Amino acid sequence: MSIQPEIRTIPSFRLIGMSQRQSLVQNTTAALWKRFMPRRGELRSVSDGVLYSLEVYDGLDHFAVFDPAREFTKWAAVEVEEQEAVPDGMSELRVPDGRYAVFLYRGPASKGADLYRYIFTQWLPGSGYSLDDRPHFARMDERYRGEAEDSEEEIWVPVR
């Protein structure tokens, strides 16, 4: 695998959604999305309809040694305008401005781990960039089709 990302610098933006603690071993992402999706219609000022699947780690030491049982906070969210109120049972997350390496992933969602392995074991060490302590996220628009072979999503990795 040899995918080169686009490096983008973005302004801060606001998300509303639901979150939970999980690990790679105890991955409850599907349950999180099943809770969030029926309620996303409660949000009236969704910016563009794009879905965000985010990981917020407890600092850069999370990556010092690979431990699939180590927990992080997983989010299912959408971008909203500033005036949007946060409904009961949901929370707000502000993604700070910064630089990201943006990878386009094509293929079934269940095979995405191969891209992440490539990013962290091959691309990042040889890129001249280092990981930054900001949320990591997948941005899923109308091209995202779950397990379909032609599904596409953007993988955003914070770098400096």
- The pTM for the full model equals 0.93
Q: What is the pLDDT of residue 49?
A: 82
The whole-angstrom separation of Cα 23 and Cα 29 is 10
Query: CA–CA separation, 115 vs 46, rounded Å?
Result: 29
Mean pLDDT along residues 127-135 = 97
Alpha carbons within 13 angstroms on the beta-carbon side of residue 50 total 19
Q: Residue 1: pLDDT band by 50, 70, 90 thresholds? A: low
79-88 pLDDT, tens per residue?
999 999 999 9
Question: 9-23: per-residue pLDDT in tens?
Answer: 999 999 999 999 999
For residues 96 and 134, the answer to whether their CB atoms sit within 8 Å is: yes
* 39, pLDDT greater than 70: yes
- Per-residue confidence at 2, pLDDT binned at 50, 70, 90? confident
Instruction: Compare 116 and 31 and report the one with higher pLDDT.
Output: 31
Cβ-based neighbour number of residue 28 at 10 Å: 14
How many helices (H) and strands (E) the chain has is answered by: 3, 8
